[in-house]
Amino acid sequence: MILYEMLIAIGIAVVLVVAAIDRSQQKRDARAAAAAAQRRLVAAAAQRRLVAYWTRFLKLQYEPALAAPLPARLATLITQLETRT
């Protein structure tokens, strides 16, 4: 009878250990997923800042050229292209 009780106790201990390992693995997986989401969020924010920087840079570079009056022929071509699409 004692052997039977010992086997049951060992079985219960094994189940508890496996459950504890599974919970810790789930926690690790959740932390890894959260870290990956955080990295994607930071990368997206950095990309938005980079795009905003280059947009401002190019706008400042080409603003004087855009302010100059367009020749009539070029304005006509632009109008034709805009109406085609």
**Cα–Cα dist 72/12, whole Å:** 89
Range of the domain at 47: 2-84
Q: What's the confidence (pLDDT) of residue 12?
A: 79
**Cα–Cα dist 42/81, whole Å:** 39
Percent of the chain exceeding pLDDT 70 equals 98
**Cα–Cα dist 76/80, whole Å:** 6
Q: Which of 5-9, 15-19, 32-36, 71-75 has the lowest mean pLDDT?
A: 15-19
Q: What's the confidence (pLDDT) of residue 1?
A: 61
Q: Tell me, yes or no, if the pTM score tops 0.75.
A: no
Q: What's the confidence (pLDDT) of residue 50?
A: 95
Q: Are 78 and 70 in contact (CB under 8 A)?
A: yes
State the total domains in the chain: 1
79, pLDDT greater than 80? yes
